[in-house]
Amino acid sequence: MKPAPFAWHPAGSVEEAVSVLSADEDAKLLAGGQSLLPLLSLRLARPTTLVDLEDAGLGVLEIADGDRAQPAASGDSRVLVAGAMVRQRRLELDPLVAATVPLLADAARHVGFPATRNRGTLGGSLAHADPVAELPAVAVALDATVVATGPRGERRLAASALADGFFATTLEPAEVLTAVRFPAAGPGHGAAWCEWSPRLHDFPDAGVGVAVELDGTGALRWVGAAACGIGGGPLPLGDELAATAAGATEATPGLLRAAAGAVTAAARGAGDGRDELCGLLAARALAQAFRRAQDRQVAS
């Protein structure tokens, strides 16, 4: 028997989960369990109660109207609402995700293995806040909104305000992350996730996600980007890439070189040459995102 004893509490609703968490500060949430079970088995985590969110109604995946008058990320004003319990495998394979938030689908296929993606969830990944995790960086790159419910009701926060250093978030102890709202891709949208891991599908040393949107003339009008593996949480890179790539119509060698330089400078301080690795990955992701955006424009 590897984990220390705990009580399993399947919650039938988010409210029920919140009330269990409120009553017991050593209770923890169980989403997909693909990071938590190893921690339990190693006894690095010893919760009194595991509140299972499986049946709490957090499996929604649908398009909804956006909440911002002028979403920064997109020429489309809608959002993809993904419930916290949506499996990573579904993010990878569901055509709705590929069509509306292609960066999410592209990154999801790098998370763990098919066997862990069948269980692992979007919300679990964001709440666990592993600094090398892909999905928190995707949420930051796209300026997504995180929805959380606690004892005082529901609130929304920017994905960039969720991370709080290594394996830590700004969620309150009794709050449940319920959904993530991703801006939907507009017509000139293209995205790519690139990462480097010494072994296929192992944790990456670093990864970078880039999404771009081209205007009707094919010039870059918006870019969002973020890295994982650099420091304690997702590193936003949108400003660096916008400064080098705004208005560009082609991912020229000069542009890619400038982008790599800007990102390397932003990641400065990451050990083992990871800053330069991050720059290379960003250049590669930018080039792919550009090509996919152009293909999408031709197709539409």
Partner 1 sequence: MSRPVRLTVNGAPASFDVEDRTTLLDALRDELGLTGTHAGCEQGACGACSVLLDGEIVRSCLLLAVQAGGRTVTTIEAVGSPGRLHPVQEALRRHHGLQCGYCTPGVVLTAIDLLERVADPDEEEVREALAGNLCRCTGYAGLVDAVLAAARDAGPGR
Least Å from the CB of residue 271 to partner 1: 24
In contact, 83 and 53? CB cutoff 8 Å = no
- Residue 249 as a binder of partner 1 (CB under 8 A): the answer is no
CA distance 296 to 90: 23
Member of 12, 23, 25, 38 binding partner 1 (CB under 8 A): 38
C-beta closer to partner 1: residue 78 or 128 = 128
Helix, strand, coil content of the chain in percent (nearest 5): 35, 25, 40
- Residue 246 as a binder of partner 1 (CB under 8 A): the answer is no
CA 252 to chain centre: 28
- Residue 113 as a binder of partner 1 (CB under 8 A): the answer is yes
Size of the site for partner 1 (CB under 8 A): 29
In contact, 124 and 38? CB cutoff 8 Å = no
CA distance 170 to 188: 34
Task: Specify the length of the chain in residues.
Answer: 300
Phi/psi at 149 (5° precision): -120, 130
Phi/psi at 85 (5° precision): -95, 10
- Residue 64 as a binder of partner 1 (CB under 8 A): the answer is no
**Binding span for partner 1 by CB under 8 A among 38-46, 66-74, 157-165, 254-262:** 38-46
Member of 4, 72, 158, 161 binding partner 1 (CB under 8 A): 4
- Integer CA distances (angstroms), 277 to 54, 207, 232, 255, in order: 38, 9, 17, 17
3-class secondary-structure state, position 62 = strand
Least Å from the CB of residue 43 to partner 1: 11
Binding to partner 1 (CB under 8 A): which residues in 250-269? none
Member of 17, 20, 40, 184 binding partner 1 (CB under 8 A): 40
- Contact letters (x/-) for partner 1, 185-224, by CB under 8 A? --------------xxx-----------------------
Chain contacts with partner 1 (rule: CB under 8 A): 1-8, 33-34, 37-38, 40-42, 50, 52, 54, 89, 112-116, 118-119, 199-201
